[in-house]
Homo-oligomer: A and B are copies of this chain.
């Protein structure tokens, strides 16, 4: 995955989605563990001084969206029409770390090939992605999102 897609993603978030900038969302890393985005706890806390559920969900939603943003660009397809259609989230434990990290788990080779095939053949394709925010022992947040690309 070329590094420039990550830079493009950060610029898109900063420029196009004001809340991402206000939340301090940063494209953190892309490696064998998946795509990771971050936000500071400061400014994203709730009445209990742990991370606000709305911020956690927005971070997870964008992390999955960012994964698909990179994937379609990598394959020369426009990314303007990547949208989330539905999602579910479990807030397993409060998130208290000063830097909150969300990682979109890697897409399986078979799912990715099928997604790209559908996109090229039908002009529209769906991909289910899982995003996690780690806790001390096991995930603190588990998110599943269903995304659609239609360039």
Residues of A within 8 A of B (CB): 12, 16-20, 22-23, 43-48, 52-55, 57-59, 61-62, 65, 80-81, 83-91
Q: A12-B47, A48-B80 are in contact. Are A19 and B55 (CB under 8 A)?
A: yes
Whether B57 contacts A19 by the Cβ 8 Å rule is: no
Q: Which residues of B contact A86 (CB under 8 A)?
A: 88-91
Whether A52 contacts B88 by the Cβ 8 Å rule is: no
22 A-B pairs within 8 Å (CB atoms) are namely A16-B47, A17-B45, A17-B47, A17-B54, A18-B43, A19-B19, A19-B44, A22-B22, A48-B81, A53-B61, A54-B54, A54-B57, A54-B58, A57-B57, A57-B61, A58-B58, A83-B91, A86-B88, A86-B90, A87-B88, A88-B88, A88-B89
Question: Which residue from chain B places its CB closest to the CB of A44 in the assembled complex?
Answer: B19
CB distance from A81 to the nearest CB of B (A): 8
CB distance from A62 to the nearest CB of B (A): 6
Q: Which residues of B contact A62 (CB under 8 A)?
A: 54
